[in-house]
Structure 1
Amino acid sequence: MNIMCIDIGKGTQDILYLDMEKSNIENAIKLILPSPTRIIADKILKMEKDLKIDGKVMGGGPVNRAIFQHIEKGYKVIMTKRCARTVRDDLEEVSKRGIILKDAVDCPDVILRDLDFEMFKKIFREIGVEFRPDIVGVACQDHGYIKGQSDRITRFNYFREQLRRSSNPLEYIIVEEEGIFSRFKSILETLRESNYKGFVMDSKMASICGILDYAIEEGIEEFIGLDIGNGHTLGVSIKDGKIKGIFEHHTGMLTPEKLKDIVDRLAEGSLRNEDIYEDGGHGAVVLEGIEPQEILITGPNREMFKRYGRYAYPGGDVMITGCVGLLGAFEYNREKLLR
């Protein structure tokens, strides 16, 4: 049973490839590569001509900036409607930014995609390993889109609905196309077209599951888990493996002291949704307070909270926190995913 876990961020794509019957996580193949959006953005920035772009919805960020810079240089950019939602889910907004939309293009110069299995196969050939995953778990971030509604509300409503359905984060996997999540849908389509079984998970939740794995290994039953990312910071209070509260804010709007205050209120059970949303964040839901033994932190900006918490090293490596979370989610949902 080979499982491939891919955690796609803005800066890197972190990969764990594990034969679950022959090796432990320390002996698994681990790759930290530039993120797909960075790879494709670098390609666009080197081009000196009008561009035709096709593919699927993928993570934006650097790709979007590269496209806009190309237009500012005076070049035309033509995109198919199916991939243009990478720029904005609202295609009217995409057109207003100077991008020409078409139903199809011939001989595209750039293909947008979050998953490049041909690249993975080449890497594995070079190291003499057969690339044959039985299941692929992918973590990424998708705000979701409902026309006329703030994406902050749309994204946090997803978390609120998941928590209403179950307080176990290991259950928060997506195996069927979700109407409001174009990026999740694109990844599931790619897995199906590539003949791989798999699932998708929000990258923040995958990270929380990775922290949970670390907490269990360390014998910590009651804790606050924080993923302090480049764009978003997500925090959860967990007791006996169950989420008791959750919030998400924008990292750039936080200071260590401000985050400490939010974490304290999350623990005591007094944090309100409006406290976060009216401050420019996404929101908060708190079911009850806890008495945390530890504050466990991960993410590229974890140093912000270093003096208040403890770094978590799932699988012995902070860079594969999300991958460890995906692995845990697979093990928990194994029967459902393999049927």
Structure 2
Amino acid sequence: MRILAADIGTGTQDILLFDSEKEMENSLLMVMPSPTQVIAEKVMEATQTGKDIVFTGTIMGGGPSGRAVKAHLQAGFLVYATERAALTIHDNLEKVKAFGVRIVSEEEAKELTASGSAVEIVMRDFDPEAVSKALSGFGVTVPEKLAVAVQDHGNAPDKSNRVYRFELFREFIEKGGELECFVYMAEEIPPAFTRMKAQADSLLKTTLRAEGAPEIKAVFMDTGPAAIFGALTDPVARQPSIVVNIGNGHTLGALVLENRITALFEHHSSRMNPEKLQDYIIRLADGSLGFDEVFEDGGHGAYIKEATGFSSVRSVVVTGPKRGMLEKLPEKEIRPEILEKLHFAAPFGSMMLSGCFGLLAGFFKKYPETSIKLINP
């Protein structure tokens, strides 16, 4: 049995090809530029060559690509976008128009491209054709079992998507906070998760499969919970545990008790520092970290359903590409109560693939006939 897991982040897209007939450590893996970084590069190239652009495709992650679009407009060039692609910039299309983006129909987009009036840039978070092309050079094919994670703030055209994201997190934690609360088959994706739904729709229409090939089995997750549950596959994660994923774009910390997320905070990694992070870790476990404090500092927020007290936490597990925020500190700069419990997770020897291992665990939950135990008690 083979499963392709793809964790789509702000800086990188991390891809794991799991094969049940091999040791996990012998799985094939790739850490490549994230789709939004690739889009940003294409936009910057159009800016440098003085060309207008037209976005087609569907909603995907923003950040770097959004900043490149603003720079393109400020340089005096035109930006067109179909409605689905424009949602990448903002859930409210009137705000997209206010930025200076011109909304066009699918037919108008084709005409702009065909006439050479604008360079077409296709928006899409996960591109199985590109992955297939990369693997085919090594004689490897993409399997029909797939697991994909994207960060989805939820569709919130009239309110802060940071607020709405934590409304959704609160709902999932109140439902129990187990892994199965955060993983979906395509037909189970909540309507609010428009980015996740767009990737599912796109993926299941893929032309990769040959005629008569087995039906695709796929699951989808948000990148945050995927990284948390993935880090729990490392034996260093002894529960109750605080698990922190310091990603290129976001830092997410969770209190995990009996494989349940009972408390959570999320901030932008660029606004975090070692002192703030250590304070958040302790206060999340103690139950004193509030939503307003994190939100007003520019973060997404915090929600605590059940706190254990930091003294009851057995391990503080840190993963993610920016984990050097703590890993590179001299010991004297790490609070003693954290230092004695601090571990840097590298599940199956691959720190960058924590999200992929969370996706695998989610796949096994949804398809129990394939189940392999990954998460440690």
Per the normalisation by structure 2, the TM-score is 0.83
Alpha-carbon distance, 1:155 to partner: 0.4
The DSSP-based 3-state class of the residue aligned with 1:30 is strand
Aligned mates of 1:147, 1:15 — CA distance in 2: 31
The DSSP-based 3-state class of the residue aligned with 1:78 is strand
Aligned mates of 1:281, 1:37 — CA distance in 2: 21
Relative distance call for 1:224 and 1:4 in structure 2 (3 A) is same
Name the amino acid aligned to 2:308.
G
Alpha-carbon distance, 1:88 to partner: 1.0
Alpha-carbon distance, 1:275 to partner: 3.6
Corresponding residue to 1:163 among 173, 188, 199 = 173
Aligned mates of 1:274, 1:66 — CA distance in 2: 30
For residues 202-217 of structure 1, what are the structure 2 equivalents within 5 Å? 202-214=222-234, 217=235
Aligned mates of 1:67, 1:297 — CA distance in 2: 34
Structure 1 unaligned residues grouped into runs of 5+: none
For residues 90-239 of structure 1, what are the structure 2 equivalents within 5 Å? 90-104=92-106, 105-106=109-110, 108=113, 109-131=120-142, 133-175=143-185, 176-194=188-206, 196-214=216-234, 217-218=235-236, 220-239=238-257
Name the amino acid aligned to 2:129.
E
Aligned mates of 2:262, 2:70 — CA distance in 1: 42
The DSSP-based 3-state class of the residue aligned with 2:18 is strand
Q: Is the 8 A contact 1:315 1:321 kept in 2?
A: no
Structure 2 unaligned residues grouped into runs of 5+: 114-119, 207-214, 328-333, 372-377
Alpha-carbon distance, 1:84 to partner: 0.5
Corresponding residue to 1:305 among 300, 317, 326 = 326
Aligned mates of 1:126, 1:65 — CA distance in 2: 34
Q: Is the 8 A contact 1:244 1:289 kept in 2?
A: no
The DSSP-based 3-state class of the residue aligned with 1:157 is helix
Name the amino acid aligned to 2:121.
V
What do the CA deviations read for 1:233-259 (whole angstroms, capped 9, x no partner)?
Answer: 211111222223222223333322222
The DSSP-based 3-state class of the residue aligned with 2:110 is coil
Q: Please, which moves more after superposition, 118-127 or 254-263? A: 254-263
Is 1:53 matched up with 2:55? yes
Relative distance call for 1:165 and 1:28 in structure 2 (3 A) is same
Alpha-carbon distance, 1:139 to partner: 1.0
What do the CA deviations read for 1:88-126 (whole angstroms, capped 9, x no partner)?
Answer: 111111111111101211164211111212211211210
What is the root-mean-square deviation in Å for CA atoms of aligned residues? 2.1
Relative distance call for 1:281 and 1:42 in structure 2 (3 A) is closer
Alpha-carbon distance, 1:87 to partner: 1.0
What do the CA deviations read for 1:199-249 (whole angstroms, capped 9, x no partner)?
Answer: 2111011000111111xx347232110112233221111122222322222
The DSSP-based 3-state class of the residue aligned with 1:213 is coil
What do the CA deviations read for 1:9-39 (whole angstroms, capped 9, x no partner)?
Answer: 111110001122x112111110111111112
| Other-structure match for 2:266 | 248
Alpha-carbon distance, 1:177 to partner: 3.9
The DSSP-based 3-state class of the residue aligned with 2:184 is coil
What do the CA deviations read for 1:162-190 (whole angstroms, capped 9, x no partner)?
Answer: 11112213441132343222211111111
Q: Please, which moves more after superposition, 43-52 or 309-318? A: 43-52
Alpha-carbon distance, 1:74 to partner: 2.3
Q: Is the 8 A contact 2:177 2:260 kept in 1?
A: yes
Corresponding residue to 1:75 among 68, 74, 77 = 77
What do the CA deviations read for 1:135-171 (whole angstroms, capped 9, x no partner)?
Answer: 2111111111223221111001111001111221344
| Other-structure match for 2:357 | 324
Alpha-carbon distance, 1:300 to partner: 2.2
Alpha-carbon distance, 1:337 to partner: 9.6
Relative distance call for 1:253 and 1:65 in structure 2 (3 A) is closer
Is 1:294 matched up with 2:337? no
Relative distance call for 1:284 and 1:337 in structure 2 (3 A) is farther
Q: Is the 8 A contact 2:5 2:17 kept in 1?
A: yes
Q: Is the 8 A contact 1:5 1:17 kept in 2?
A: yes
Relative distance call for 1:255 and 1:44 in structure 2 (3 A) is closer
